Amino acid sequence: MVALVSSSELAAVLDWPTGADLTELEQPCAAADTIVRSYLDPDKDPHDNHPQDKEAALAVAVQIYSSHKAPGGQMQAVDFQPIMVPHLLGPGLAARVMGLLRPCRKYGGLVVG
């Protein structure tokens, strides 16, 4: 199973210098892959080829990396004011990428009769 997002893809999005050590990016990429795959239906064709699944994993990886590197754990706007969004890594993180995952999402629920 190929990872949905690689450290080199995340480095390109974060505009890291070419040739930089990417070991710092491996953990956010692995976490993003685990989070996104938990919402995907394993019975559908391999998700490694779906661009929307890869984009969702990339968006999650950027959020995870940003939450660790931002001062005080908060991202800042261009004018250095904190972006006041509570729980960046909470349920809202999955909600932001759910539209991308819709075609391959795993559905299930409780049926009460």
The pLDDT value recorded for residue 92 is 73
The pLDDT value recorded for residue 74 is 60
In degrees and rounded to multiples of 5, residue 49 shows phi and psi of -95, 0
The pLDDT value recorded for residue 44 is 73
The pLDDT value recorded for residue 18 is 86
The pLDDT value recorded for residue 71 is 58
The pLDDT value recorded for residue 111 is 58
The pLDDT value recorded for residue 36 is 87
How confident is the model over 35-93, as pLDDT tens digits? Answer: 888 888 777 777 667 788 888 899 999 888 887 776 555 666 667 666 655 556 667 77
pLDDT at 8 over 90: yes
> Around Cβ 22, how many Cβ atoms within 10 Å?
14
C-alpha 38/C-alpha 32 separation (Å) is: 10
C-alpha 99/C-alpha 77 separation (Å) is: 25
At a CB cut-off of 8 Å and minimum separation 6, what does 30 contact?
A: 3
Residue 30: pLDDT band with limits 50, 70, 90: very high
pLDDT at 19 over 80: yes
pTM over 0.85: no
